[in-house]
Amino acid sequence: MMKKRPKSLILFGNGINCENETAHANSLAGFEPELVHIDELTDRPALIHRFSFINFPGGFLDGDDLGSARAQAVKWKYQKIGGTGGRFLDELVKFVQEGKIIIGICNGFQLLIKTGLLPALGGSCGRQSATLTSNDSGRFEDRWVYLRVNRFSHCIFTKDMDNIYLPVRHGEGKCVVDTPEGISAMKEKGHIVLQYADESGKVTMEYPDNPNGSTEAIAALCDDTGRVFGLMPHPEAFVHRTQHPRWTRGGICSEGDGLKIFMNACKYITES
């Protein structure tokens, strides 16, 4: 008998525009993906508990009014839902407490940061302690970047991974942390998962290898559990060798670096 695939939720609507690529990556990795409109999700918040994995894809949620993902983050943090008097953020926290996993990509990463689900230092979900703001270049950056994987991080999505190569496309990707103590805590506790690097794998603040001037060259963060993961690069945009900008020149593995992130997610769920 064929083993049943774990179910994953991919959010779409209201400006999100990478849902189909994200669903495809989920399917390749072993999930049974389902696209759910963001309005349905907030109307029926308990719906998320049917799934093991939530994906917040990239795009321009709510047209980036008030700043990238801020409008939706405010709704999820403060707007009461249904007749329960609770918030949608509370449902997401419960989802994680049940041992399930979340990924936020680009705009989805901005959403996780601004709801306070990342980095959630000391488990303080809901308190924003970092932000993603305008790139130092003052322009939208659309390029491929080298990324150093922090092997001391407890992130389940990057387990056993080496340095990787992924595309970025964002105007507000510079990660800024509210205090020096916050940065120290993130480094000490393994919250920093990916950092922008040069071709040799050395972490860098130099443009364009670091496309946005992010503090500590941060490209991705996880929470205390390692099960909530946000990144500015797009793993769903490199799941096959033909998506690599130099794929015709040989030496490119058949599986893209981004697919490994989703495969790790599926492995974690199926083995938990």
pLDDT profile of the chain (272 residues), mean per 10 = 86 96 98 96 90 97 82 88 77 95 98 95 87 97 98 96 96 95 94 97 98 98 97 98 86 87 98 90
pLDDT at 85: 65
pLDDT at 125: 85
Which amino acids are annotated catalytic? 106, 234, 236
Question: How many whole angstroms separate alpha carbon 10 and alpha carbon 37?
Answer: 9
3: which strand partners? none
pLDDT at 96: 95
pLDDT at 84: 61
CATH 3.40.50.880 correct for 7-271: yes
Tell me the chain's radius of gyration from C-alpha atoms.
Answer: 17
Helix or strand or coil: residue 161?
coil
pLDDT at 2: 58
pLDDT at 83: 59
pLDDT at 3: 75
Q: Where are the domains of the chain?
A: 7-271
* Positive or negative torsion for Cα 120, 141, 57, 232: negative
Write down the pTM of the prediction: 0.96
Encoded amino acid at 213, one letter: G
φ, ψ for residue 126 (rounded to 5)? 100, -15
